[in-house]
Copies of this chain bind each other. A is one copy, B any other.
């Protein structure tokens, strides 16, 4: 897939030429390659809530060029790629690396840049999973409680006999037909209720996410297999927001953004009831969040070492394998508290993953944090792995003695 996306000159000029306008009206914002512009300019297409970075100055990142641009990688099909070629092959918008907290690499493509926020897609689930782990650690959230303890309105749904832990680890048996090519599929009702796609719900269908959740029925058993289903993140989000009596954007600001010296406000998309859903931030702030998870925080401990240790340990690889991802994707991985865990012989990496190739990769053993934004035309993020993982491994090896 070649990348001539910047040459398209979307949304340049005052106003842009008519055929270069990307808008919800035209419903072309999730087309490819238009989504390359959309992902770096999401706030101007959809309603959002700001994640305040606090009144202080941004934390300074020490910068050293570690020569990563000169690496050559061998992808999982055995093909040799120069670094720049590799970046473009998987439609990279941004790629940056912290080694021991030093910014040793930073690269932007397309419409992204150091002061541009980018949609992180499902990587935002890991914000919520971490908040839940912190609340468990502090004793305000009971992971063994059944969901209706916190959300009584879900008594007649898939979650009536599910524990919070099972929700956190995506071990819920539910009816949720996820076929993007079928307009009648559950996922479209879900996305429309969430305000995540253009077009409003049909009459009689759920008008926002909390209403949607009440329609989800159980299928099979809980706790038997990893099953990545979107609605679980909304259940978990409602639970922690109700316990804290604060919105996700406030929690992420107070617990993460204000501690890590963020340089820019992040933001949350919202559903039609004003509930925060997915998020966006700059690449550097994404790195800072990863570094906060890795180190626990510099000025004061914002993330307990026990939480980080629990995430790094990971989840059950046996339950994960039952999801049966096609080879070579995600083989031997696990899932814990809304993080994807890569089990490696030299120590596990915890990763936040999002559609179209968003990735936050934290490898404590290598004192390494890598953030990557993408706008791949292939929605499932793991389809980028045959190039992206070799890139990451090449960086880790290159920096081994750095």
Residues of A that sit less than 8 Å from B by CB: 11, 14-16, 21-25, 41, 43-50, 52, 55-58, 115, 117, 200, 207-210, 238, 241-242, 247, 263-265, 270, 272-275
The answer on a CB contact under 8 Å between B49 and A43 is yes
Instruction: Other than A16-B273, A22-B274, A50-B117, give 18 A-B pairs with Cβ distance below 8 A.
Output: A14-B238, A14-B275, A15-B209, A15-B210, A15-B274, A21-B208, A21-B272, A23-B273, A25-B207, A25-B272, A41-B274, A43-B43, A48-B48, A50-B264, A50-B265, A52-B115, A55-B58, A57-B57
Counting every copy of the chain, the complex holds: 2
A43 with B48: in contact, given A25-B272, A242-B14, A274-B11 (CB under 8 Å)? yes
Which residues of B lie under 8 Å from residue A11 when comparing CB positions?
274
Which residues of B lie under 8 Å from residue A43 when comparing CB positions?
43, 47-50
Q: Which of B15, B23, B48, B207 contacts A44 (CB 8 A)?
A: B48
Separation in Å of the A22 CB from the closest CB of chain B? 8
The answer on a CB contact under 8 Å between B274 and A55 is no
Q: Report how far A22 CA is from B48 CA in the complex, Å.
A: 15
Which residues of B lie under 8 Å from residue A241 when comparing CB positions?
14
Q: Report how far A55 CA is from B48 CA in the complex, Å.
A: 22
Q: Report how far A273 CA is from B50 CA in the complex, Å.
A: 22
Q: Report how far A251 CA is from B390 CA in the complex, Å.
A: 41
Which residues of B lie under 8 Å from residue A24 when comparing CB positions?
47, 272
